[in-house]
């Protein structure tokens, strides 16, 4: 996530905090797990009480708050304020940038380190914001992080560390520190990356290595230091998808981190700000937020799936750039459904920066100059969506549609993503990747992504029937991957290789053309393992029980030129139907049944423009009124999040089905049902509660057992649910139902 600068917090006045907010409540509530998190630089206060399991505290710097005591709050005070509200507390800091002036200025070790800032070709510093530069992760800098940050947070009692955004800009690579690292790594003098494709590849490969080394160093230290204190420190990397880093011309270690035993998991930073970058399809460049987000989440899921590492999916209701509330909500729904279409993931960062979400001011409409804090309809709907994540189950179901179409990707995608063309290489808006994915996704096929780094794990290709790959926009970083691909084909897989193999990166000095290897192209090595001649022409080549089909054009053609994807679709469909399998099923939607939830995304630019008609009995969870529906029409380009009454577990059990506040301390008898709720204050809450029958009495009370002004209850006989509405209370809301048998 592009982490929100602290000085902007202060500028828009987000963080006023009365001292009383550090007091414990009378009724402590302990989250039972670490399934949901929120990321914040602020101390706790009622307005930010989003009721995730975990509060990830960002940064150790003492912050100023206008209404708190002497105006300053230390890191330790921020930590304690969230602990006092029974949140589990974790810690996050940046590893490529942050509030590290004491290091840069020499106040830490007496040495000035400003030459360790990332620098562009003209010598200018690459700034993240204001006076905060992106850094070269030298051994000196990681030593500073270990001694000044990691030791401190472990001493505070925190046992989970997140290092965020290991990012080296592709436009950088010119600073004195980077030149020194080049000499140490390659053993020969630095070469400017803009002078050739090979130098660019070498430069980006080094950037990749430096952050891999830095994360390994910091996390290994954290675990060793924790063991010295008899504590198990869990280490997570918070990073964008490989797709987004490639689009933004950034290098990061990504999938290679799976080989580090010191990495316990990841936060998949996907939000509208990453997904809205335009891409091509059918000759048109435009934003395709849902589709891009679906592929981004898929990239991160496939990166971690074979290793079993924990993965949190992040969604952000807002963006880093100011927009209007209506646009924020529309995009939030798209991203939210995209993440839930991956039923093997059920850990979430429900939001970063609740302080900007609840206290920031943004435009009220597209053409309005007026700004406001978050509207009630948005905040209530958002909290319904957030609380659903707290209860979201894992599922063995899959997205409806033809399964087994996969596209290969690799970390080296980032190495060929350049700030300016080199030697004629051009891949507009990552079209070589989208040329293999978008033609299928737009036809309702839930295309999967496969990381080349992970093909060594047998389960990586276990469910793939047709694998599409290209070396037009990436290169294999080791030879052994080809052996696993060849074995997969021999056992019956269908491989479609799509590339001219004429780009300048084919001849960079790498394993396929050094030492005993003399291959002109990396694909020649792969083909040789399957008896296919060097420089093979287009056609299909059997190998064992499977086959390789070679298409001699770069994949970008399939999205840059209108209608050009038909030949690719026909080829893949022919391979898909081998051995009597049914043809690909084309449709204009994706749907997943996940527990009691129905997730539906209807695609525009698809095979037709008809709306999807859902029939049944539902709660519409994208409506802050939580209406009961017997049908729902979803138009192309829109999504739906429905609770399906047909799949409610234990349908006669009293239970909260949907809520904008988190539920605690449930107590049930044959004639009563009671619980407590907590949520951000002041916010209008809403919930649907299912009972065996209509209640004789419904009480909505504050902590003094007094009725809450503005609360209401309404019975719906068809669904056997009460619709409750009430304002959240800092100390919690107590709800009681009495439904005696007749």
Region 575-600: mean pLDDT is 95
Domain boundaries, the chain: 6-117+127-174+208-391, 405-580, 589-647, 655-738
* Among 280-294, 411-425, 613-627, 648-662, the least confident range: 411-425
Q: Where are the alpha helices (DSSP H) in 421-532?
A: 431-441, 480-490, 522-528
Q: Which two tokens stand for residue 365?
A: 């409409």
CB 38 within 8 Å of CB 354: yes
Please enumerate in sequence order all residues whose Cβ is within 8 A of that of 495, keeping only pairs 6 or more positions apart, or say none: 466, 467, 469, 485, 488, 489, 546, 547, 548, 549
Number of H helices, E strands in the chain: 18, 37
CATH of 405-580, one of 3.30.160, 3.40.50, 2.60.40, 1.20.120: 3.40.50
Whether pLDDT at 277 is above 90: yes
Homologous superfamily of domain range 6-117+127-174+208-391: Glycosidases (3.20.20.80)
DSSP assignment string, 352-369: E-HHHHHH--EESSTT--
Give percent above pLDDT 70 in the chain. 95
Please enumerate in sequence order all residues whose Cβ is within 8 A of that of 426, keeping only pairs 6 or more positions apart, or say none: none
Express the helix, strand and coil content of the chain in percent, nearest 5 each: 30, 25, 45
At residue 4, the pLDDT reads 43
Local confidence band at 580 (pLDDT 50, 70, 90 cut-offs): confident
Average pLDDT, rounded, for the chain:
93
Whether pLDDT at 124 is above 90: yes
More confident site: 37 or 17: 37
More confident site: 25 or 465: 465
Determine how many CB atoms are found less than 10 A away from the CB of residue 106.
12
For the stretch 527-536, pLDDT in tens is 999 999 999 9
Local confidence band at 712 (pLDDT 50, 70, 90 cut-offs): very high
| Residue written as token pair 């530069």 | 133
Q: For residue 54, which of 298, 314, 340, 309 has the smallest C-alpha distance?
A: 314
Determine how many CB atoms are found less than 10 A away from the CB of residue 114.
14
Region 23-43: mean pLDDT is 71
CB 100 within 8 Å of CB 110: no
The size of the chain, in residues, is: 742
For the stretch 481-518, pLDDT in tens is 999 999 999 999 999 999 999 999 999 999 999 999 99
Crossing angle (nearest 10°) for helices 376-391 and 325-340: 10
At residue 11, the pLDDT reads 35
Q: Which two tokens stand for residue 154?
A: 């472990």
For the stretch 403-437, pLDDT in tens is 999 999 999 999 999 888 899 999 999 999 999 99
Q: For residue 267, which of 305, 304, 222, 314 has the smallest C-alpha distance?
A: 314
Region 176-187: mean pLDDT is 98
Element (H, E) at 590: strand 589-594
Local confidence band at 368 (pLDDT 50, 70, 90 cut-offs): low
For the stretch 57-116, pLDDT in tens is 999 988 776 555 557 899 999 999 999 999 999 999 999 999 899 999 999 999 999 999
448-469: buried (b, 16+ CB within 10 Å) or exposed (e) per residue? bbbbbbbbeeeebbeebbbbbb
Whole-number Å distance between alpha carbons of 242 and 527: 26
At residue 522, the pLDDT reads 98
CB 233 within 8 Å of CB 220: no
Burial of 245 (0-12, 13-18, 19+ CB in 10 A): buried
* Among 30-39, 169-178, 341-350, 387-396, the least confident range: 30-39
CB 733 within 8 Å of CB 664: no
At residue 69, the pLDDT reads 56
Q: For residue 77, which of 43, 47, 102, 48 has the smallest C-alpha distance?
A: 43
Q: Is the dihedral of CA 633, 639, 642, 646 positive or negative?
A: positive
Whether pLDDT at 3 is above 50: no
Whole-number Å distance between alpha carbons of 21 and 29: 16
In three-state secondary structure terms, 330 is: helix
Q: Is the dihedral of CA 236, 241, 246, 248 positive or negative?
A: negative
Q: Where are the alpha helices (DSSP H) in 192-234?
A: 197-228
In this prediction the pTM is: 0.94
Q: Which two tokens stand for residue 2?
A: 């592009």
Backbone angles phi, psi at 40, to 5 degrees: -150, 150
129-160: buried (b, 16+ CB within 10 Å) or exposed (e) per residue? eeebbbbbbbeebbbbbbeebbeebbebebbb
Whole-number Å distance between alpha carbons of 296 and 277: 12
For the stretch 284-306, pLDDT in tens is 999 999 999 999 999 999 998 88
Whether pLDDT at 33 is above 90: no
Region 674-678: mean pLDDT is 97
CB 469 within 8 Å of CB 440: no
Q: For residue 82, which of 42, 27, 135, 130 has the smallest C-alpha distance?
A: 42
Whole-number Å distance between alpha carbons of 64 and 100: 17
At residue 71, the pLDDT reads 72
For the stretch 34-63, pLDDT in tens is 999 999 999 999 999 999 999 999 999 887
DSSP secondary structure code for residue 603 in this structure? -
Whole-number Å distance between alpha carbons of 306 and 258: 9
19: left (phi over 0), alpha (psi -120 to 50) or beta: alpha
- Fold classification of 655-738 (topology level): Immunoglobulin-like (2.60.40)
The CA-atom distances, in angstroms, between 560 and each of 274, 366, 429, 519, 554 are 21, 31, 10, 30, 11
At residue 14, the pLDDT reads 31
Whole-number Å distance between alpha carbons of 104 and 99: 10
Give percent above pLDDT 90 in the chain. 89
Q: For residue 293, which of 352, 246, 333 has the smallest C-alpha distance?
A: 333
* Among 250-259, 329-338, 472-481, the least confident range: 250-259
DSSP assignment string, 81-118: HHHTTT-EEEEEEESSSSS-HHHHTTTTTS---GGGB-
Region 721-726: mean pLDDT is 98
The CA-atom distances, in angstroms, between 606 and each of 328, 434, 439, 443, 740 are 25, 15, 9, 6, 53
Whole-number Å distance between alpha carbons of 38 and 353: 7
Whether pLDDT at 29 is above 80: no
At residue 286, the pLDDT reads 97
For residue 682, whether the previous peptide bond is cis, meaning omega lies within 30 degrees of 0, is yes
């Amino acid at each position: 996530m592009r982490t929100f600068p602290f000085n902007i917090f202060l500028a828009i006045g987000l963080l006023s905090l009365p001292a009383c907010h550090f007091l414990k409540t009378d009724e402590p509530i302990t989250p039972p797990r670490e399934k949901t998190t929120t990321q914040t630089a602020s101390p706790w206060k009622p307005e930010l009480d989003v009721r995730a399991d975990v509060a990830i505290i960002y940064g150790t710097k003492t912050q100023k708050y206008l209404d708190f005591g002497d105006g300053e709050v230390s890191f330790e005070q921020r930590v304690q304020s969230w602990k006092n509200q029974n949140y589990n507390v974790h810690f996050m800091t940046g590893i490529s940038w942050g509030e590290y002036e004491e290091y840069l200025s020499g106040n830490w070790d007496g040495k000035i380190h400003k030459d360790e800032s990332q620098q562009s070709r003209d010598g200018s510093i690459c700034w993240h914001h204001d006076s905060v530069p992106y850094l070269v992760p030298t051994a000196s800098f990681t030593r500073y992080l270990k001694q000044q940050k990691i030791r401190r947070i472990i001493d505070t009692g925190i046992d989970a560390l997140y290092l965020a955004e290991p990012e080296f800009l592709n436009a950088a690579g010119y600073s004195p520190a980077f030149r020194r690292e080049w000499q140490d790594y390659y053993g020969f003098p630095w070469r400017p990356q803009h002078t050739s494709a090979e130098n660019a590849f070498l430069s980006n490969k080094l950037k990749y290595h430096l952050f891999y080394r830095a994360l390994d160093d910091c996390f290994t230290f954290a675990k060793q230091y924790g063991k010295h204190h008899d504590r198990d420190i869990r280490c997570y990397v918070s990073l964008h998808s490989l797709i987004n880093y490639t689009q933004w011309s950034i290098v990061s270690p990504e999938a290679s981190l799976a080989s580090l035993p010191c990495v316990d998991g990841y936060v998949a930073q996907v939000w509208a700000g990453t997904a809205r970058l335009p891409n091509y399809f059918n000759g048109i460049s435009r934003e395709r937020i849902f589709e891009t987000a679906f592929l981004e989440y898929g990239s991160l899921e496939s990166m971690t799936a074979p290793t079993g590492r924990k993965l949190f999916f992040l969604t952000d209701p807002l963006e880093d750039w100011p927009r209007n509330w209506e646009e924020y909500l529309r995009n939030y729904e798209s991203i939210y459904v995209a993440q839930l279409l991956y039923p093997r993931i059920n850990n979430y960062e429900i939001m970063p920066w609740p302080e900007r979400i609840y206290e920031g001011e943004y435009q009220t409409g597209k053409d309005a100059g007026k700004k406001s804090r978050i509207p009630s309809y948005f905040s209530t709907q958002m909290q319904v969506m957030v609380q659903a994540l707290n209860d979201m189950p894992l599922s063995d179901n899959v997205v409806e549609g033809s399964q087994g179409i996969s596209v290969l990707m690799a970390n080296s995608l980032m190495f060929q993503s350049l700030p300016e063309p080199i030697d004629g290489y051009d891949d507009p808006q990552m079209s070589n990747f989208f040329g293999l994915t978008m033609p299928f996704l737009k036809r309702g096929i839930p295309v999967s992504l496969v990381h080349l780094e992970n093909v060594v794990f047998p389960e990586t290709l276990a469910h793939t029937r047709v694998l599409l790959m290209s070396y037009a926009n990436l290169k294999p970083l080791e030879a052994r991957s080809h052996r696993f691909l060849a074995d997969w084909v021999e056992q019956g897989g269908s491989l479609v290789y799509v590339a001219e193999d004429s780009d300048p990166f084919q001849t960079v000095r790498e394993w396929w053309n050094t030492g005993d290897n003399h291959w002109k192209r990396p694909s020649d090595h792969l083909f040789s393992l399957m008896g296919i001649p060097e420089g093979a022409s287009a056609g299909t080549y059997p190998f064992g029980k499977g086959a390789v089909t070679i298409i001699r054009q770069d994949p970008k053609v399939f999205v840059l030129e209108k209608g050009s994807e038909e030949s690719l679709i026909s080829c893949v469909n022919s391979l898909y139907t081998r051995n009597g399998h049914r043809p690909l099923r084309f449709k204009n939607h994706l749907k997943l049944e996940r527990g009691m939830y129905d997730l539906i995304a209807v695609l525009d630019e698809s095979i037709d423009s008809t709306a999807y008609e859902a029939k049944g009995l539902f709660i519409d969870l994208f409506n802050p009124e939580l209406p009961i529906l017997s049908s729902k029409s979803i138009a192309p380009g829109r999504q739906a999040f429905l609770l399906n009454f047909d799949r409610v577990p234990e349908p006669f059990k009293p239970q909260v089905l949907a809520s904008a506040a988190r539920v605690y301390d449930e107590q049930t008898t044959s004639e009563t049902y009671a619980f407590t709720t907590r949520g951000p204050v002041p916010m209008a809450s809403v919930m649907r509660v299912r009972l065996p029958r209509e209640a004789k009495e419904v009480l909505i009370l504050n902590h003094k057992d007094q009725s809450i002004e503005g609360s209401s209850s309404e019975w719906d006989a068809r669904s056997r649910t009460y619709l409750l509405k009430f304002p959240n209370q800092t100390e919690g809301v107590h709800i009681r139902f009495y439904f005696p048998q007749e």
